Amino acid sequence: MKKSQISYSDDVREALNSGKPVLALESTIIAHGMPYPENLEFAREAESMARDLGVIPATIAILNGEVCVGLDDQQLKVLASHDNVPKVATREIAIALARKLHGATTVSATMRLAQLAGINIFATGGIGGVHRGAEKDFDVSADLIELSRTPVIVVSAGAKAILDLPKTLEYLETMSVPVIGYACSEFPAFYSRNSGIPIPVRMDKSIEIAETFSNQRQLGIQSGMLIANPVPEEYEIPFGEMDIFIRQALGDAKLAGIDGKRLTPFLLGRIVELTNGRSLESNRALALNNVKLGAEIAQKLAELA
Ligand code: PSU
Ligand code: MN
């Protein structure tokens, strides 16, 4: 696939041509991470937040077999409201194109397409990782593999708390992915600010993050970087409280025979039910908080370029 085959929105194309800061956003969080219509409200808010901070948002998705970088409101609506938009990880990108399908891109696919489009920073909610019990079922998200081979900064609130966080961090270490806590000394656990697990590196300034990335590029290191930005305090659900709901959701998934790519959306949806919508508020707030930090880092990257 050539760069010229990507369908850019006008403002993203203009920003990329003139070196203005651009922030990539994913579409699986819209199509599979949140219910309608909250997902659409979230997608719009994320975009307008980036714009207010002087950064052009580039939500990435596949529509009718075309890679779209920067979506209009109609396109966001399709992703948010259509049932059955396939969840597309890196291995499914080419298939969705061949079949002229729609595709909601996960962290892995969005990183890959962002890089192809010339965007080096991306904000999401929480990345996928090593699932609990992975020693038995081998469920390890392709997000981790992509982080190890695609040079894009991913701003997250850590890995989703439904995962095995120590194993996720071990994997990232093995795959040589820098993991940086933004103004925190513990690895955040998505809905919770703390997990009890120390974070390898802490940085308090976005310029230092931008410089680290720029150094990686100059060194010819191909891996991405994971920035862990804790959920704002007022929206946090403490780890101890959350764990009960997570265990319940995991048990329900097992009973219903849900695995593979359906597992993460199922768990997130079930947890929204079990917490009476509180986890959705938290998810929304942490993802917007990541857009804010992502926009800040995007500005610094543009200054360094
Ligand atoms: N973050 C959220 N909600 C989500 C996701 C991330 O706040 O729905 C999505 C991302 O697209 C991530 C995917 O890449 O979940 C991970 O899925 P899996 O565990 O199947 O790799
Ligand atoms: Mn999986």
The CATH number of residue 267's host domain is 3.40.1790.10
Question: Tens of pLDDT along 151-200?
Answer: 999 999 999 889 999 999 999 999 999 999 999 999 999 999 999 999 99
> Ligand 2 centre from 196 Cα, in Å?
24
User: Can you name the residues that pair with 59 across neighbouring β-strands?
Assistant: 25
For atom 5 of ligand 1, the residue with the nearest CA is: 29
Question: Residues 249, 206: one domain?
Answer: yes
Question: Residues 83, 164: one domain?
Answer: no
Question: Residues 6, 71: one domain?
Answer: yes
Question: Residues 108, 4: one domain?
Answer: yes
For atom 10 of ligand 1, the residue with the nearest CA is: 106
Cα–Cα distance, 176 to 173 (Å, whole number): 5
Question: Residues 138, 242: one domain?
Answer: yes
Question: Residues 223, 295: one domain?
Answer: yes
Mean pLDDT of 249-259: 96
pLDDT at 5: 83
Which ligand 1 atom sits nearest the alpha carbon of residue 87? 11
Question: Tens of pLDDT along 6-20?
Answer: 999 999 999 999 999
Question: Residues 63, 209: one domain?
Answer: no
Mean pLDDT of 263-276: 96
> Ligand 1 centre from 227 Cα, in Å?
16
pLDDT at 2: 67
Query: Which of 73, 99, 119 is the last residue before a domain boundary?
Result: 119
> Ligand 1 centre from 89 Cα, in Å?
10
Nearest to 108 by CA among 2, 28, 220, 7: 28
Query: Active site residue: 47, 87, 146, 160, which one?
Result: 160
Query: Which of 119, 140, 163 is the last residue before a domain boundary?
Result: 119
* Amino acid in the structure at residue 211: E
Ligand 1, CB cutoff 6 Å, lining residues: 26, 28-29, 32-33, 106-107, 124-126, 128, 141-143, 261, 264, 268, 283, 287
Question: Residues 285, 234: one domain?
Answer: yes
Question: Structurally, how many domains does the chain consist of?
Answer: 2
Question: Residues 176, 249: one domain?
Answer: yes
Q: Among the bound ligands, name the one nearest to the CA of residue 106.
A: 1
Mutate to test the pocket of ligand 1, among 79, 250, 264, 270 (most ligand atoms within 8 A of CB): 264
Would residue 26 show up in a list of annotated catalytic residues for this protein? yes
Mutate to test the pocket of ligand 1, among 87, 160, 289 (most ligand atoms within 8 A of CB): 160
pLDDT above 70 covers a percentage of the chain that reads: 99
Which ligand 1 atom sits nearest the alpha carbon of residue 264? 19
Would residue 261 show up in a list of annotated catalytic residues for this protein? no
pLDDT > 70? residue 44: yes
Which ligand 1 atom sits nearest the alpha carbon of residue 190? 7
Q: Which domain holds residue 93?
A: 1-119
Question: Residues 113, 145: one domain?
Answer: no
pLDDT > 70? residue 141: yes
Per the prediction, the chain carries an average pLDDT of 96
Mutate to test the pocket of ligand 1, among 25, 27, 29 (most ligand atoms within 8 A of CB): 29
* Amino acid in the structure at residue 65: G
C-alpha dist (Å) from residue 122 to 56, 80, 108, 194:
12, 19, 11, 23
Query: Which of 71, 98, 119 is the last residue before a domain boundary?
Result: 119
Question: Residues 76, 180: one domain?
Answer: no
Pairing outcome for strands 7-8 and 66-69 = parallel
> Ligand 2 centre from 148 Cα, in Å?
17
Question: Residues 189, 294: one domain?
Answer: yes
